[in-house]
Amino acid sequence: MKSFLQNTWKHRAHVVLALPVFLVLFFIMYVPMAGLVLAFKDYKMNLGIWGSPWCGLKNFEFLITSKSTFITMTRNTLLYYIVFTALGTFLNVTLAIAIDQCIFKKTTKAMQTIMIIPVFISYAAVQFIVYAFISTDTGILNKTLGMNTKFYATASLWPLILTVVKMWNSVGYGSVLYMSVLAGIDTELYEAADIDGANKWQKIWNITLPALIPMITVMLLLSVGSVMRSDTGLFYQVTRNNGALYSTTQVIDSYVLNSILKSSNFGFTAATSFFQSVVGLLLMLLSNGLVRKIAPENALF
Amino acid sequence: MEDKKRKGNKKDLAPSRTEKRGIGQYILAFFLLLYTLFCALPVVLVFISAFSDEMSIQKKGFSFFPEKFSTSGFMAVLRYGKQLLTSYGVTIFITVGGTLLGLLIMSMFAYAISRKEFRLAKFLSVYLLIPMLFNGGQLSGYLIFTNNYHLKNSLWVLILPLCVTTMNVIILRTYIVNSIPAELMEAAKIDGAGEYRTFFQITLPLLKPSLAAVGFMMATAYWNDWQNAMMFIDTKHTNKQPLQLLLIKIQKNIEFLLNNNNVPASAKAAMGGSIPQYSATMATVIVVIGPIMVAYPFFQKYFIKGLTVGSVKG
């Protein structure tokens, strides 16, 4: 212990360098963690989080009694997470390999530049673009196909719409990370495979994909912790926060945002948030534990 | 003999990275082109619609080939003149301020926890990691920022929450560990440079590619942040509204004008007869996303090099 303190004193310059981030994280991330106790309190605006009286598990009773809202938004959150992560990872990797394999380097570079653009457009702006495609009277889809589909009133179409928008938004950028791994593969491996007479697919299957596995694992692990969290803008802005679509578009995060903006239902919302944070933590620990068993070198911690 | 052998080798090995232009390559390129179009066309549509005549959109719908072009959409946006300038100012301030502040303190932290001789680094790494596993959520954050820190309607609340992210610190630390030779920093110390000097004069300049990549991602996060603005900035504080909030507001105003028949005729007349609803919103979208589109190509080259994520383990 004494040597630890000595070491810290000796490197006090490092402590000073680390201090600003330490403080920012403390106030921005750690204090709100303590704020989760709100789930067990009866929130009173004038008393604040710490001063409000305890109320036991009453807020969680709301979750159970109003189960359709809670179950619908949890189900939506989970299903969208699964679809986005599975399809997203598959497309990210496919696109990265496709770009890596293509020999027209200059052209692919230009194409890649364009593919990344959507990720930089905020959802507040994306919603106008989506509207241009699917609005009932003026949308390109209805006009060109001669249909009269009321997209903004048909909840069943939205899982598809949101998936397309999400992939459009994220795949180009998502593939960049995998490309950075591909760029690091030793070319001698491919050369050796050539000498052994491997064809293109065999090389992809036996060299390229295995090289990507660690990155895929890390990215999946990182995402598991946010299973209960969603890309709020996608679900709030792109759907125009349309109540008629909630059955397929309301996720936990957009519900919480609505409740904050309307300052209503804080008890229910606090219980939901608590559930969201705890489940996220458990899933993260579980998946990291699994990876540590199977491939310890890829585990996060 | 030696020469010949090497030549032979080259011929043998060359196909591995410079393939023949077979039919497969053209098919692959074709699919990549299709995907590129899928990404690009929606953005192209924004530009075309912004310059389309309002009546042609209302009658024929949005189109890549509008009947008539017009700049009335942009004129409608310019009516927001002063507010547009203020919002640009706010957005630029939080983007530049937040990014610079975040990059500086995050690279300081990344440097400190990358030092092997610093025993507190282990603890700090865990401290950094925990927010990635567990966090308080939006509601708790909202109540604490507003009730306890009294940051409602303050620009700090737009800067601080996006300023430090675990992921970005990890990216910076990975770059320091993998790409900046430790010998260089040791040599600086032997030459008598203190810790601060080593960091600011050796590490920070060499960190540039990573700073560029992380900085650009941070800048877009700030630029595109609508959620914090919506939660923390009241509509009456017009001098603190960033661009994204203006975008949301303009849409709401237009919807209000269209759906509300009680709006005085003079207000409608001021909009020039028909309300340039569609072309105007698209013009606003261009005004909002334009600067990022322009800046992005300059930073792209750093992405692959600068964004490599390493292991989180210390």
Q: What is the mean pLDDT of chain A?
A: 91
Please name the residues in contact with A109: beta carbons below 8 A apart, sequence gap of 6 or more: none
Helix (H/G/I), strand (E/B), else coil: A228: coil
Does pLDDT of B251 surpass 80? Answer: no
Interface of B with A in 60-89 (CB under 8 A): 60-64
Say which DSSP state B274 is in.
S
* Run of H or E including A237: none
Q: What percent of chain A has pLDDT over 70?
A: 100
Question: Which range is least confidently modeled, B47-61, B69-83, B91-105?
Answer: B69-83
- How many domains is chain B built from? 1
In chain A, residues with a C-beta closer than 8 Å to the C-beta of B42 are: 118, 129, 132-133, 168
Domains recognised in chain A with CATH numbers: 66-298 (1.10.3720.10)
User: Please, is A17 exposed, middle or buried when counting C-beta atoms within 10 Å of its C-beta (0-12, 13-18, 19+)?
Assistant: buried
For residue B122, which of A149, A201, A301, A275 has the smallest C-alpha distance?
A301
Contact across the interface for A32 and B296, Cβ inside 8 Å: no
CA pair distance B127, B166, nearest whole angstrom: 10
Residues 6+ apart with CB under 8 A from B8: none
**ipTM of this predicted complex?**
0.90
Tell me the mean pLDDT in the region A29-35. 95
Task: Evaluate if residue B6 carries a pLDDT over 60.
Answer: no
Orientation angle between helical segments B208-224 and B277-306, nearest 10 degrees = 160
C-beta of residue B28 within 8 angstroms of C-beta of residue A102: yes
> Count of CB atoms within 10 A of residue B249's CB?
17
Domain of B221: which CATH number? 1.10.3720.10
- Name residue B261's amino acid: N
Is B263 exposed, middle or buried (CB count within 10 Å of its CB: 0-12, 13-18, 19+)? middle
Question: Is the CB of residue B156 less than 8 Å away from at least one CB of chain A?
Answer: no
pLDDT band at residue B141 under the 50/70/90 scheme: very high
Residue B71 falls within a domain, yes or no? no
Whether the pLDDT of residue B36 is over 90: the answer is yes
Q: What per-residue confidence (pLDDT) applies to B116?
A: 86
- Residue B115 is assigned to a structural domain of this protein: yes
- A interface mutation test: which of B19, B48, B139 has the most A CBs within 10 A? B139
Cβ <8 Å between B28 and A102: yes
Angle between the B2-13 and A187-195 helix axes, to the nearest 10 degrees? 90
From chain A, pick out residues whose CB is under 8 angstroms from the CB of B313. 299-301
Return d(Cα B45, Cα B38) in angstroms, integer. 12
At B168-179, the pLDDT tens digits run: 999 899 889 988
Among A13-27, B65-79, B196-210, the range with the most confident prediction by mean pLDDT is A13-27
- The residue range of the domain holding B199 is 81-237+292-306
Higher pLDDT, A260 or B253: A260
| DSSP-assigned letter for residue B67 | S
Q: What is the pLDDT of residue A12?
A: 92
Asked if residue B108 is part of any domain, the answer here is yes
In a domain, B285, yes or no: no
Q: What is the pLDDT of residue A37?
A: 93
Beta bridge partners of B69: B52
Nearest to B144 among A35, A107, A218 (CB): A35
At residue B48, the pLDDT reads: 94
Residue B93's alpha-carbon distances to A205, B195, B222, in angstroms, are 48, 31, 10
Q: Which residues pair with A66 in a beta bridge?
A: none
* Among B43, B230, B282, beta carbon nearest to A117: B43
Q: So what's the pLDDT on residue B2?
A: 40
pLDDT range class, residue B260, cuts 50, 70, 90: low
Chain B interface, mutation test: which of A1, A3, A14, A137, most B Cβ atoms within 10 Å? A14
As a whole number of angstroms, the distance between CA B210 and CA B171 comes to: 8
Which pTM does this prediction carry?
0.89
- Label residues B83-118 b or e (16+ Cβ within 10 Å = b): ebebbbebbebbbebbbebbbebbbbbbbbbbbeeb
Pick from B12, B64, B227: CB nearest A232: B227
CB atoms closer than 10 angstroms to residue B231 = 17
Determine, yes or no, domain membership for B41: no
Check residues A94 and B310 and name the one with the higher pLDDT. A94
pLDDT value, residue B1: 38
Contact A218, A291 (CB under 8 A): no
Is B162 a member of any domain? yes
Q: What is the mean pLDDT of chain B?
A: 84
Residue B80 CB contacts under 8 Å (≥ 6 apart), including other chains: B246, B250
- Residue B253: Cβ within 10 Å count: 12
**Cβ proximity of B238 and B218 under 8 Å:** no
pLDDT of residue B58: 82
CA A277 to CA A291: how far, in whole Å?
Answer: 21
Please report residues of B whose CB lies closer than 8 A to that of A284.
Answer: 133
User: For residue B40, is it within any domain?
Assistant: no
Structure tokens at A159: 């899982």
The pLDDT of residue B12 is: 41
CA distances, B134 to each of A274, B44, B116, B214 (Å): 10, 40, 27, 23
**Residue B275: per-residue pLDDT:** 59
Query: How far A150 CA lies from chain B's nearest CA (Å)?
Result: 15
Q: Which amino acid is at A142?
A: N
Which residue type sits at A297? E
* pLDDT at B313 > cutoff 70: no
- Could you report the per-residue pLDDT of A250-288, keeping only the tens digit for each? 999 999 999 999 988 888 999 999 999 999 899 989 988
- Residue A96's pLDDT band (cuts 50, 70, 90): very high
Task: List the single range of A47-51, A66-70, A72-76, B264-268 with lowest mean pLDDT.
Answer: B264-268
Please give the single-letter amino acid code of residue A214. P
User: Closest approach of chain B CAs to the CA of A282, in angstroms?
Assistant: 9
Question: H-type helices in A117-265, by residue range?
Answer: 123-134, 140-145, 158-183, 187-195, 200-203, 209-224, 232-236, 246-249, 252-261
Q: Using 50, 70 and 90 to split pLDDT, how confident is the model at A17? A: very high
The yes-or-no verdict on residue B15 having pLDDT over 90 is no
**Dihedral sign for Cα atoms in the order B159, B160, B162, B167:** positive
Mean pLDDT of A71-91: 96
Instruction: Tell me which of B173 and B261 has the higher pLDDT.
Output: B173
Instruction: Tell me if B76 is assigned to some domain.
Output: no
